[in-house]
Homo-oligomer: A and B are copies of this chain.
Amino acid sequence: MQTVKLALAGFGTVGTGLARILEENEELLFKRSGMKFTITSVLVRDIEKQRDYIPGPETRFTTNPEDLTADPEVDIVVELMGGITLAREIIIKAIKAGKHVVTANKHLLAEHGIELFKLAEEYGVGLYYESSVAGGIPIVESIKESLCVNKIKGMVGILNGTANYILSEMTTNGLEFDTALQQAQDLGYAEADPTFDIEGIDAAHKLVVLIRLAYGEDYPLAKLPTEGISKVTGLDIQFAREFGYRIKLIGQVRDVCGKLEAGIFPALVKYTLLLARVGGNYNAVRVEGNAVGPAFFHGQGAGALPTGSAVLADIMALTKVGKPNNTGFYSSDLKEADILPPEHATSEYYFRFNVADEAGVMASISKVLAEHNISIAQAVQKGDISGPNVPIVFLTHKARAKDVKDAIAKIDSMPFIAEETVSFRIL
């Protein structure tokens, strides 16, 4: 019987989850693979720290990364520590020592993936990362294998459970953003510094990883337009509902005549779409291929066991492969994508103008929109709002991002505008 020896860098939520699955499902794993899996060493910052889960005596805790990467017994190094400095060093050392690597680190892959994949190819080892995107949903494997025969027309996903939880609470329970965020923090869904989750940065990391898988090209993280949910108000969610939409934090990429249009942004999603029904801290991805049509995946995007399941799937896969399939492409030397300038992207839009309640306002706004080739599909003005100002909401037909930006800048300089205009895309 073959034993696969694992070394873990980090033993937090996901590492513990992995160890628990290995123990709980040991018999099944043997029935599936004919192999046994052992964690031989675990890299931690503090060996003395109290832990909820204690692995068996075969596991040695260490504070020295060399105990993982330089141990000839270790087959696979599993990086679950996060961060991009030490994690990168450990992965590079493991690859150079001829070891396969499994990582959940989307931040590292988004920033340094190109370098790491090239190195892994050079050394002929696997660098697998199913757990880095959408937790337990097998989206990496699906794009790399099952859907790999498709030209990908586009992908759209809900890639951050924390942001989706906050928006869901705002929608379902009428909370304002700050209250919903506080609640997410109290429940442990959001971190003390929630910037990565609520500003779309975590989702951007994941989208960069997905774009590479789908197109075999690099969309540099620094170039990806990224907008979070901190500006979404209860009022906008209410207006969106009235028109039959939900507001979701969306990651999207589309092939527009050979150029990639991509970004992270809050958008209105029609109530009837499955994507609008993704609730709480769930994740989902919709992939549209030129052969398969639309394929939709939904599941838990985080958590010890779902993410541990994805990490272990990578480990199982690496024990079976001939030549590792890291990028999903024959060559791992990925070029930068041909990027559609974001200002050329077209979409339908939701605008909420907050204006003084006086004559001629609607006419003035409409005129500016028309001058910028923005055509109005639906409009609503509410008379029953207390205070001197009233919201006017427009839903538009397709318009160019640059025209929208210019038109809103012009409108926001007009005297009747009471506060900065809100605009979201409609999916």
Contact = CB atoms under 8 A, between A and B. Distances in A.
How many of these chains are in the complex? Answer: 2
B297 A296 contact: yes
B145 A317 contact: yes
Interface residues of A, number: 58
A295 B299 contact: yes
Contact of A148 (B136, B313, B325): B313
Nearest to A293: B300
Contacts of A292: 136, 299-300, 305-306, 309-310
Interface in A244-299: 274, 277, 289-299
Given A151-B28, A296-B299, A321-B322, A291 B305 contact: yes
Contact of A151 (B25, B142, B274, B323): B25
Nearest to A29: B149
B291 A309 contact: yes
A171 to B, nearest CB: 14
A382 interface: no
A250 B29 CA distance: 29
A137 interface: yes
User: Chain A contact residues: over half helix, strand or loop, or mixed?
Assistant: mixed
A150 B298 contact: no
B148 A316 contact: yes
A290 B313 CA distance: 14
A216 interface: yes
Contact of A130 (B138, B146, B274): B146
A308 B146 CA distance: 11
A328 interface: yes
A150 B309 contact: yes
A136 B299 CA distance: 19
Nearest to A328: B32
Given A149-B29, A150-B25, A292-B299, A323 B325 contact: no
Interface of A: 17, 21, 24-25, 28-34, 130, 136-138, 141-142, 145-151, 216, 274, 277, 289-300, 303, 305-306, 308-310, 312-313, 316-317, 320-323, 325, 328-331
8 closest A-B pairs by CB: A138-B146, A34-B330, A136-B292, A291-B309, A296-B298, A295-B299, A292-B309, A149-B312
